[in-house]
Amino acid sequence: MTRMLFREDAYMREAPARVVALTPDGGIVPDATPFYPTGGGQPGDSGTLTWDGGTLEIATTIKGEDGAIVLVPAEQGARPPQGADVTQEVDFDRRLRLMRMHTALHLLSVVIPLPVTGGSIGADKGRLDFDMPEAPEDRAMLEAQLNDLIARDLIVTEDWITDAELAANPDLVKTMAVKPPMGTGRVRLIRIGQGADQVDLQPCGGTHVARTGEIGPVRLGKIEKKGKRNRRVSIQFG
């Protein structure tokens, strides 16, 4: 199992590691990594990998078998050998934009308190699909409410509960299409705000900013009909 350094510090830009495996299709498995693997609608991290004698551009990061995290090179070529010591450097400009967008989408689910049927996180644009038979009447109001939550600079923290506790509190789960990351005995919750200022609490395995003020202003994009009951709501950075 690869140690998930991005869980310990989402702002970690660089970290050493040892290569524990190479996959048949060219991937590299480190024993620990700050690179986030694709999952939950959030793309995998990109960046660079360096070792004594080589440098490799990493195009994306994915989940492998048995808890492994696999760094996927942008091009096939020389790879560090198994057992090599490497330095991993995340494309942090892109990562930070993904963190900002992911946190903003949590807040979008607050201003539109409907079941979420899908979603996608991009570095410049993101969207959530809602079980929403009718389109909202006042888009400007939704955008203003969203930016108000962002401007409150609410703290973003994590908590952990057991799988059994989540099963006993199904209302914590907003997403209908993506199941919470369960199976290890405990589930990570992302909390936005604390005490009387708490506005959101839901299971999530992704990376987030430390405070909502880091998101910056956002604009509400198209609200598209995607089926009889589904509406797709997009946001982008202002």
Give me the pLDDT at residue 174, please: 80
3-state secondary structure of 10: coil
Give me the pLDDT at residue 177, please: 61
Query: Could you write out the DSSP letters of every residue in 199-225?
Result: -EEEE--S---SBGGGT--EEEEEEEE
Give the chain's end-to-end CA distance (angstroms, integer): 39
3-state secondary structure of 153: coil
How far apart CA 29 and CA 122 sit, in angstroms, is 25
- Strand positions, DSSP E, the chain: 3-4, 14-22, 28-30, 32-33, 47-51, 54-63, 69-73, 85-90, 116-121, 125-131, 156-162, 186-192, 200-203, 218-225, 230-237
How far apart CA 1 and CA 29 sit, in angstroms, is 9
How far apart CA 157 and CA 106 sit, in angstroms, is 13
Number of neighbours of residue 215 by Cβ within 10 angstroms? 27
Give me the pLDDT at residue 178, please: 62
Kindly list the averaged pLDDT for each block of 10 residues, start to end, along the chain of length 238: 96 98 96 96 97 96 96 93 97 98 98 94 96 90 97 96 84 72 78 96 95 98 89 95
Q: How many residues does the chain have?
A: 238
> Is residue 44 within 8 Å of residue 35, measured between CB atoms?
yes
Give me the pLDDT at residue 228, please: 84
Strand order in the sheet with 125-131: 116-121, 125-131, 230-237, 218-225
Domains and CATH numbers, the chain: 13-90 (2.40.30.130), 95-237 (3.30.980.10)
pTM reported for the whole predicted model: 0.94
Give me the pLDDT at residue 49, please: 98
> Is residue 163 within 8 Å of residue 181, measured between CB atoms?
no
